[in-house]
Amino acid sequence: MKPFLTVRSLKEKIEKKEVSPEEVLSYYTERFNTYNEKIGAALEVFDEASVIESSKKEGALHGIPGLIKDNISQNDRGLTCASRILADFVSPYDATACSRLKNEGALLMGRANMDEFAMGSSTETSAFFKTKNPWDVSRVPGGSSGGSAAAVAAGLVPWALGSDTGGSVRQPAAFCGIVGFKPTYGLISRYGLVAYGSSLDQIGIFAHTAYDAAMICSAIAGHDVKDSTTLMVGKTDYTQKLDGTLPDDITIGVVENALHAEGMDSGVVQAIEEAIVQYEKLGIKVKRISMPSLDYAAAAYFILSRAEAASNLARFDGVRYGMRAADVDALKQLYAKTRHDGFGDEVKARIMVGNYVLSAGHADQFYDGAQKVQRLIRREFMKAFADVNLLIMPTHPAPAFKFGAYSDNKLQMDLQDYFTCAMNLAGNPAISIPCGMSKDGLPIGMQLVGPHLSENLLFQAAHAYQEKTNWHEEHPEGF
């Protein structure tokens, strides 16, 4: 066994009986034992016997281990959302994504660290410990799914699940030099995903290759009667057309006002421009376009996500589950003390902003205005896709930053979602793939964006690029 094996290669080894599922699981468990303390990717790694027992003995992902972000329910496992308020909570059921993975024989081997309740872009807001970027442990792995991204990047698992509300899969994937996929809203069930912004949240996938992400997506996507927001889409094999080629007459739109936005790192721009040239060599037509509404996406996302967060997190009150404050004399005091002691500063700040923008006298000014911007963004995406098949955009303005870099600048931290949140507002699928390295040896990622339910084409385009480049084969040293 070697580190950094892909899901595809592991599947072949298991099918050829070169290695058993038990041996694979033991190998990755040992890697966690060796390296997890160095980067803090996992909150918990389960004992091997229980992992094997909980999975079926056959299926498309038989014997292939992965890590699950700790806001996605796993039956009889802890479910903390990296928050003190849920520190001792145990999930009584599996999320649909987890049950489908188990039915395909996948081995769910642990819980990934994250920003508390998925609120953050650096995994610095976890109540337990910070996750470090395997490429440079003085830097963040991105967030909020930083634990999932770091684990895959360090070769501790070949794939992982995260959640993406405004970029929380794609941004850490770019920072860590791996693939991060966010589906069309409603393609993957949210049943069992702890809600942050219900109209924006989607479970996403981390892997080394687009092919691997397509394999995981094939296992978990499709309609779910337990989630009324899922689309009427049947089980699909998203790897079927991944042969390195692309359909004829494909046009990719380069979003110029994103690629050359103010504050863009020159190395990121150069890497993406070189990727565009590579696509032209593959026979794809390139069209330079502008999408002015993207300049307002971050502001609209801040308002809508915080409004939904304030509503969704109201359930954590110390009465039904999770932490309950002691030494209180009245119900109102119980609510206040539980939430004060249980939530971290970032979560409390977002709840307060959400309540403010929903309050009487302010909802018209803020919340209703943000919804108008959301509709404008959706229309602009539809207009763009009338002329092009896919879009290319940056995933991030600059490579991974140092811990504490934005401690005194909350706005800059929030603007980490600048290039990613528009796709959540519009519901469009997007995939971030590695496309270069900075002068400091840090990964650079770019996004491919498609119209609703264009996952097949997205995976094809990402896979074709990876067949001609080797950025996805670059791995951090020391692992």
Residue-wise pLDDT tens digits, 300-317: 999 999 999 999 999 999
Global pTM value: 0.98
Per-residue pLDDT, 332: 94
Catalytic residue among 11, 55, 69, 132: 69
16 is catalytic: no
168 is catalytic: yes
Average pLDDT in the chain: 97
How does pLDDT run across 3-43, given as a tens digit for each residue?
Answer: 999 999 999 999 999 999 999 999 999 999 999 999 999 99
Confidence bin at 412 (pLDDT 50/70/90): confident
How does pLDDT run across 46-64, given as a tens digit for each residue?
Answer: 999 999 999 998 999 999 9
H helices, E strands: number in the chain: 16, 11
How does pLDDT run across 147-204, given as a tens digit for each residue?
Answer: 999 999 999 999 999 999 999 999 999 999 999 999 999 999 999 999 999 999 999 9
How does pLDDT run across 95-142, given as a tens digit for each residue?
Answer: 999 999 999 999 999 999 999 999 999 999 999 999 999 999 999 999
CATH code of the domain covering residue 39: 3.90.1300.10
As a whole number of Å, the end-to-end CA separation of the chain is: 14
- Which residue(s) pair with 254 in the sheet? 288, 392
Catalytic residue among 168, 218, 305, 454: 168
144 is catalytic: yes
Residue 414: is its pLDDT beyond 90? Answer: no
d(CA 175, CA 447): 13
Q: How many separate domains does the chain show?
A: 1
Taking alpha carbons only, the member of 269, 307, 261 closest to residue 418 is 261
Mean pLDDT computed over 334-347: 97
Residue 411: is its pLDDT beyond 90? Answer: no
CB within 8 A of 229, min separation 6: which ones? 185, 186, 190, 198
d(CA 168, CA 119): 9
Structural domain of 396: 1-479
Per-residue pLDDT, 76: 98
Residue 415: is its pLDDT beyond 90? Answer: no
CB within 8 A of 104, min separation 6: which ones? 56, 59, 60, 61, 62, 219
Neighbours of 20 (CB within 10 A): 12
Taking alpha carbons only, the member of 399, 349, 334 closest to residue 173 is 399
Catalytic residue among 83, 144, 218, 438: 144
Torsion sign, CA atoms 210, 214, 220, 221:
positive
